[in-house]
Amino acid sequence: MKTAWVFPGQGSQTTGMGVDLAELPVAAEKFQQAESILGWSVLENCRTGDNLSQTLYTQPCLYTIECILVDLLRERGERPDAVAGHSLGEYVALYAAGAIDFETGLKLVKRRAELMNEAEEGSMVALMKFDREQLDAAIAETDGVVLANDNSPLQVVVSGTSEAIETVLSKVKVRRSVRLDVSGAFHSPLMEKAARAFDTVLEPVGFSDATVPLLSNVEPTPETQADALKSRLQQQMTGPVRWREISLRLSGEGIERVVEVGPGKVLTGLIGRTCTDLTLENVGTLEQLNDRG
């Protein structure tokens, strides 16, 4: 069965995630590597949950736990036919596809989290059940707001100045809207300053060709070439997460099964509402790993 691995991003974190993996040799090694790079313990932060709501800690913790799960799936002889990740999750997808190693990815994630944590301009609001044509039109005629996360036919996130977002909301009939607890307008042009600062860290990093196709957030088509994958990642901080299109493309590429590798079931939920013909699985705990045989 042709299988894709997908990796969730910020918002999927839960207190206790990864703690059940701690005694496994591959996990213990990764936790130690992470602590030497970050200067703090991923395992301890996941155990207590004290800082998990802060971008500075959330992103490195998710990256580390998801990379450990990738290693454990590999130990069991599993391999994907394609990979994709939602926002932060794209860094894990790059690791899973062999485009970057764990330490390189974590150093990038660490700097990304620092810059995003420092962002102070704008906000993000999730919208559920809305008229898409009405929303697209409202965004098109309003400066300072973009569609940041196109997650599914019935769930998106808009990002921009608070004033612009309120203008859009006044023009669109929405069943429910939720302001996200983030420091700034992620995946929008308001992140341009942070993106420029991040590029000084990303630019000298060497990428390898991917061993399996990766569908990127800003360009949801299969890609394995190192230069193209790096270029797409450079655009990610200010560009949109086109997850709905990724979901549709996976199905179009002949993928039959999608495994969400990480805590929670956010991505399988979104994919299931977009594509009804895929087998959806989740691997985020030791029990779920062991249930795979």
- Of 87, 123, 159, 251, the active-site residue reads 87
Instruction: Name all contacts of 46-49 with Cβ < 8 Å and 24+ positions apart.
Output: 46/15, 46/16, 46/17, 46/18, 46/19, 47/15, 47/16, 47/19, 48/15, 49/14, 49/15, 49/16
Catalytic: 87?
Answer: yes
Catalytic: 86?
Answer: no
Q: Following DSSP, what letter does each residue of 88-154 receive, concatenated? A: THHHHHHHHTTSS-HHHHHHHHHHHHHHHHH--S-EEEEEEEE-HHHHHHHHHTSTTEEEEEEEETT
* Nearest alpha carbon to residue 283 among 32, 66, 50: 66
Q: What is the dihedral of CA 16, 20, 24, 30, to 10 degrees?
A: -10
CA 32, 38, 41, 46 dihedral sign is negative
- Of 12, 123, 187, 247, the active-site residue reads 187
Q: Are the beta carbons of 81 and 5 closer than 8 angstroms?
A: no
Residue matched to tokens 């690791």: 95
Going by DSSP bridges, is the β-strand pair 214-215/257-261 parallel, antiparallel, or unpaired? Answer: unpaired
| Maximum separation of any 2 CA atoms in the chain, in Å | 54
List active site positions: 87, 187
